[in-house]
Chain A
Amino acid sequence: MAAVLGGRPEGVTTVPLGPDAELDPRPRVVVVGNGMAGARLVEELLERGGGDQFAITVFGEEPHGTYNRIMLSPVLAGETHEDEIVLNSHDWYADNGIELRSGVAVTRVDLPAKTVHGDDGTVTGYDHLVLATGSSSFVPPMTGVHRDDGSLLPGVVGFRTIDDTRVMLAAATEHERAVVVGGGLLGLEAARALQGQGMQVDLLHAAGHLMNAQLDADAGAILKTSVEALGITVHCGLTATEVIGPDRVRGVVLADGRAVDAGLLVLAAGIRPRTEVAVRSGLEVQRGIVVDDQLRTEDPDVYAVGECAQHRGTVYGLVSPVWEQARVLADVLTGTDPTAEYHGSRTATKLKVAGVDVATMGVTGPERDDDEFLVISEPRRGVHLSVVVRDDRLVGATLLGDTSKVAYLTQAFDRGSPLPARRIELLVDLSDGKAEVGVAELPADSQVCNCNGVSKAAICEAVAGGCTSVGAVMDRTRAGKGCGSCKGLVGQIVEWAADGDVTEDPAADWYVPGIPLAKPALIAAVREQDLRSVSAVFAALAPAGAEDARSKMALTSLLKTVWGSDFVRENDATFINDRVHANIQRDGTFSVVPQMKGGVTSVAQLRTIADVAEKYEVPMIKVTGGQRIDLLGVRKEDLPGMWADLGMPSGYAYGKSFRTVKTCVGSDFCRFGLDDSTGLGIDLETRFQGIESPAKMKLAVVGCPRNCAEAYVKDVGVVAVGEGRWEVYVGGAAGASVRKGDLLATVTGRDAVVQLAGRFMQYYRENAHWLERTYDFVPRVGLEKIQAVLLEDSEGIVADLDAGMQRSIDAYTDPWAADLAEPATPGQFRTSLPLVDLPLVPVR
């Protein structure tokens, strides 16, 4: 005997009832059938406490535990071992106190006596009886298919059980040819799997096209092409009339008179609900066992679920409706929800049939005069998509070969959600208008702002709560206030949620929220009125002279850009990072990054850094993405001491400023290097160190287009192309946004690179919005305009740009050295959490 799936090592066992069974006071639930439906029902009962409430007995005709029938195709294909498809083993039943009578078929039910009769002669009483007898393969009328005793001729199998599958696998080793009858899902899967096992397969399908229950003729034709491309011979509109025997299958005779050799005949031409027990017992049976909305037959204590049940005229052959039925019945039986009802399922399926993706839901084609029917057919690519829309609701869809839209369509089908006015957007993403559809499609709980964890629902709530502008929503929810990369999406959602009724942010054009001026007007006013400190700007230009906390950092940056060394520093108008020249960490400690120009260091530097890290017990030493060394988790009060001991300038790893220049080793070392990228990187960092800007500026120089230091994705990236020539890219990014920089110009000589990079950075400093990175600035202004201004001096400002940059360069002082000599304010480095024992960050 073949192995028992999910059996015990010592063989099949059942939990003996024993004499106590009669004394068990619990009501007895008997489930006839241990397939997907019966087993699922038992699981649902257990989940609702039914294991304590009821004595449960399950009859299974097969000797096995419960296994996943959906997985028989992978088993047949050799992709999955049969042990892997066991759902509930014999042990599972024993562990859960459920009596499994495996290998026992129920022959009839005595409704008045409330007993079931097994083919082993047993009689078992019940209080509630559930029929889950499933279905069997339909055997088409063919001469010779049955033996005299009514059983199937050896070599003829359905495709319903693990034993069927084992027969097929055995046949595949002994025979070369197989005939599969039925071109639906099951037949196609069997054909594919057998062909994969090395058999030559003929597929017979009585209807005119494959999967005719789910696909229209055009889609079926495309599927046929895809299946034939696998090497399977497909005969549509053709049946078999005779099985050639006599002792076992030798071949079949087709309706057109031809004969096909075959050592295996697989019947997959539909299924029939197994209703014999119900019929014999006197229950009402039409196509299946007739049940009401609580899965109850005409006998109040007898229920039916799964493929044997007929609900509101429909017999379901898919697993998801069966799951729903099991849930409802478990609710009813356990009393968890005595009024639970099953109202039928809208079946949507997504399958891979013979290697082809197929998804279907609802109707396959138009049924009424005013149904809308949209079809996209690409036979060459094996793609056929169609939707049926009725009264602005999706009532059917068929996707073959491309199921990328299935999630969206399933949602529209299940919930009746609104459809795009342009119906084609149901099937394909159009580049224009895509965002609009995307926002509407986005599930409410999907996270829009990942930095601050803001969902679409939270944004919609803010709009519903009265925020009418994008800025107001961002203030309320903090969406878009982290890295800022979601701002565009936030704007779209606000617009969508407000149904287009968005007030223009009056502050949208202002450089900072606290001063009602755009950047050029603000700069002009600052110059005209000689405003050199942030408090002077508020006093002169803010409404009622009121300070605004959120404007101060941006104003400091702007004033430094305008005034250079004539700027009057006010520490309170800076962010904490700029007050103490270090980057604040999550626990209030700081990170210290010494300057390391071009990423080049030395023995002495490394030794000093190591000593300092040891002395101050630095929790983590980390190599940064900008090719420097980061000392993290430093107490504020330790900062001046560390700077003194380091004796190195600040690397500006904390500011909205020029940060770093990454370099590769260039022509000095690299055998591919075309120029001295390292040297040029050091030159650039020496010249532009510490320059403040609207947002950070990260640079890189590479010695050849292999781009080892990633110059193509930097705010300013420089690439050596040989013979002293350099390409200068601007507006690149590889952070929250990824963008390849635009080629600004190719110039000759290192000085030309330094000059052009300086001009670009100054133009950006003077014209970009606060926190606008170059990857937004360059596309906003336009590369052509930037090229005209910087390369052709179209506005006559290049000399001013050069002078402005020079002013800032001349104003540079190393902030560490400066504040070490004399603190900027009293208590500049005092702890702000005096009772917290910092660091709280982990010490590595």
Chain B
Amino acid sequence: MSLTELQTPTTTEVRVGRLEDVPPGEGRAFTAGDTQVAVFRLRDGSLHATQASCPHAGGPLADGQTDARVLVCPLHLFGFRWSDGASTSGAGPLRVYAVRESDGDLLVTL
């Protein structure tokens, strides 16, 4: 990352996929350029997006389990808070991205 970019952080919204690509309660992984992102659609309708691989040991986070507070990695069951990506059990932190839906498109802010 260049100095210029640091000074003016990019706030690009990237369309990564469609809402129907992510079944309710589950997560799916997408790519945005050279970044892989996991997008989660909770049963209450809310959306979350995080880095795709677990900061602990590279586990596939889109295969994890979720609730309104946390995401749990499938490999070693580390939990991460949606609010700030902090781990509830000692790993991390996890990078979280803003995500929203517009006309069925999933838009992630990288």
Binding site for B on A (CB under 8 A): 452, 475-478, 481, 514, 535, 546-550, 552-553, 570-573, 575-576, 579, 584, 586-588, 825-827, 830-836
- 28 inter-chain pairs at a CB distance below 8 angstroms, sorted by A residue, are A476-B90, A478-B78, A478-B90, A481-B77, A547-B68, A550-B65, A550-B72, A552-B67, A553-B65, A571-B26, A572-B23, A572-B43, A572-B66, A573-B25, A579-B26, A586-B75, A588-B75, A826-B23, A827-B23, A831-B60, A832-B27, A832-B29, A832-B52, A832-B61, A832-B62, A833-B36, A834-B29, A836-B53
A546-B68, A572-B43, A836-B53 are contacts. A588–B29 as well, Cβ < 8 Å? Answer: no
Contact (A572, B24) CB under 8 Å given A477-B90, A547-B68? yes
- Would B67 and A546 count as touching, CB distance under 8 A? yes
Taking CB atoms, residues of chain B closer than 8 Å to A546 are 67-68
Interface hits, B10-46 → A, CB 8 Å = 20-31, 34-36, 38, 42-43
Q: How far is the CB of A695 from chain B (nearest CB, A)?
A: 16
Residues in B neighbouring A825, C-beta threshold 8 A: 23, 26
Number of A-B contacts (CB under 8 A): 112
Residues of A within 8 A of B43 (CB): 535, 547, 572
CA distance in complex: A572, B36 (Å): 21
- Show the binding face of B for A, using Cβ within 8 Å: 20-31, 34-36, 38, 42-43, 52-53, 57-72, 74-79, 88-90
The answer to whether A570 and B25 touch (CB under 8 A), given A575-B65, A584-B75, is: yes
Taking a contact as CB atoms under 8 Å apart, the answer to whether A833 and B52 are in contact is yes
Residues of B within 8 A of A552 (CB): 65, 67
Q: Please determine whether B25 and A572 come into contact, CB atoms closer than 8 angstroms.
A: yes
User: In the complex the two chains form, is A576's CB within 8 Å of B29's CB?
Assistant: no
* A834 close to B36 (CB less than 8 A): yes
Closest to A825 in B: B23
CA–CA, A478 and B73, complex, Å: 13
With A572-B23, A572-B24, A588-B75 given, name 6 new contacts (CB 8 A). Answer: A478-B76, A549-B79, A571-B23, A586-B75, A830-B28, A832-B63
Q: Which residues of A contact B20 (CB under 8 A)?
A: 826
Contact of A576 among B31, B36, B58, B74 (CB under 8 A): B74
- The answer to whether A549 touches B89 (Cβ under 8 A) is no
Knowing A549-B71, A549-B72, A575-B65, say if A826 contacts B52 (CB, 8 Å): no
CB distance from A655 to the nearest CB of B (A): 14
- CB–CB A831/B26 < 8 A: no
Q: From residue B71, how far is it (CB to closest CB) to chain A in Å?
A: 7
Q: Return the contact of A834 from the options B52, B69, B72 (Cβ within 8 A).
A: B52
Query: Given A535-B43, A827-B28, A834-B30, A588–B60 Cβ distance below 8 Å?
Result: yes
Q: Is the CB of A549 within 8 A of B63?
A: no
CA distance A572 to B58 in the complex (A): 21
Give complex CA distance A642, B65 in Å.
26
B59 partner residues in chain A, CB cutoff 8 A: 588
Q: Provide the residues of chain A in CB contact with B78, threshold 8 Å.
A: 478
Query: Residue of A at shortest CB range from B25?
Result: A572
The answer to whether A549 and B65 have CB atoms under 8 Å apart is yes
Docked Cα-Cα span, A576 to B28, in Å, equals 12
Q: Which A-chain residue is minimally distant from B23 (CB atoms)?
A: A825
Question: Cβ of B63 and Cβ of A584 under 8 Å apart?
Answer: yes
A797 to B40, CA, bound (A): 44
| A835-B31 contact in complex given A571-B25, A572-B23, C-beta closer than 8 Å | yes
**Given B21, B38, B71, B74, which contacts A827 in the complex, CB threshold below 8 Å?**
B21
Question: Which of B25, B26, B77 is the one whose CB lies under 8 Å from A478?
Answer: B77
* Cβ contacts under 8 Å, B27 to chain A: 832
Which A residues touch B36, using CB under 8 A? 833-836
B79 nearest CB across to chain A (Å): 7
A475-B89, A549-B72 are known contacts. Are A586 and B57 too (CB-CB below 8 A)?
yes
Query: How close is B86's CB to chain A, nearest CB, in angstroms?
Result: 13
Query: Are A452 and B62 CB-contacts (below 8 A) given A475-B88, A832-B38, A835-B36?
Result: no
Q: Which residues of B contact A584 (CB under 8 A)?
A: 60, 63, 74-75
Q: How many Å from the CB of A537 to the closest CB on chain B?
A: 13
CB distance from A412 to the nearest CB of B (A): 33
Minimum distance in angstroms from A308 CB to a CB of chain B: 55
| Neighbouring B residues of A478 by C-beta, 8 Å | 76-78, 89-90
**A475, A481, A832 interface centre (most CB from chain B within 10 Å):** A832
A368 to chain B, nearest CB (A): 50
Question: What are the residues of chain B within 8 A of A831 when measuring CB–CB?
Answer: 29, 60
Residues from chain A with a CB closer than 8 A to the CB of B22 are 826-827
Q: Which residues of A contact B70 (CB under 8 A)?
A: 549
Shortest CB–CB separation between residue B75 and chain A, in angstroms? 7
Residues of A within 8 A of B42 (CB): 547
Docked pose: A546 CA to B43 CA in angstroms: 11
User: A825-B23, A834-B36 in contact; A588/B63 too (CB < 8 A)?
Assistant: yes
Q: What is the CA–CA distance of A834 and B25 in the complex, to the nearest angstrom?
A: 20
- Bound-state CA distance A835–B88 (Å) is 27
Most-contacted residue by chain B among A481, A584, A834, A836 (CB, 10 A): A834
Task: With a 10 A CB-CB cut-off, give which of B29, B70, B88 has the most chain A CB atoms.
Answer: B29
Contacting residues, chain B, for A548 (C-beta < 8 A): 67
Most B C-beta atoms less than 10 A away, residue of A514, A571, A825, A833: A833
Q: Report the nearest B residue to A573, measured CB to CB.
A: B25
**C-alpha spacing A573/B26, complex, angstroms:** 9
Residues of A within 8 A of B61 (CB): 832
Residues of A within 8 A of B26 (CB): 571-572, 579, 825
Q: How far is the CB of B65 from chain A (nearest CB, A)?
A: 4
B contact residues around A586 at 8 Å (CB):
57, 75
Nearest Cβ on chain A to B107's Cβ, whole angstroms = 18
The residue on B at minimum CB distance from A833 is B60
A29 to chain B, nearest CB (A): 51
- Give Cα A409–Cα B76 distance, bound, in whole angstroms: 39
Give Cα distance in the complex from A552 to B65, angstroms: 8
Specify which chain B residues have a CB less than 8 angstroms from the CB of A535 in the assembled complex.
Answer: 25, 43
Write the chain B residue with the least CB distance to A840.
B58
Determine the chain B residues whose CB is within 8 A of the CB of A834 once the complex forms. 29-31, 36, 52
Known: A571-B25, A832-B38. A576 touches B52 (CB 8 A): no
The docked-state distance in angstroms from the alpha carbon of A475 to that of B53 is 22
> In the complex, A12→B83 CA distance in Å?
76
With a cutoff of 8 Å between Cβ atoms, the chain A residues found around residue B76 in the complex are: 452, 478
Bound together, the chains give a CA A397 to CA B27 distance in angstroms of 64
**CB-defined contacts of B52 to chain A, threshold 8 Å:** 832-835
**Complex CA–CA separation, A832 to B67 (angstroms):** 19
**Could you say which residues of chain B place their CB within 8 Å of the CB of A830?**
28-29
Closest to B30 in A: A834
Task: Tell me, rounded to whole Å, the shortest Cβ–Cβ distance linking A577 to chain B.
Answer: 8
**Chain A residue nearest to B38 in the complex (CB):** A832
User: Across the two chains, which residue of chain B brings its CB closest to A552?
Assistant: B65
Q: Closest residue of chain B to A478, judged by CB?
A: B89
Contacts of A575 in B (CB 8 A): 65, 74
Interface centre among A475, A571, A588 (most CB of B within 10 A): A588
Cα–Cα distance between A835 and B58 once the two chains are bound (Å): 12
Which of A477, A584, A587, A835: most chain B CB closer than 10 A?
A: A835
CB distance from A828 to the nearest CB of B (A): 8
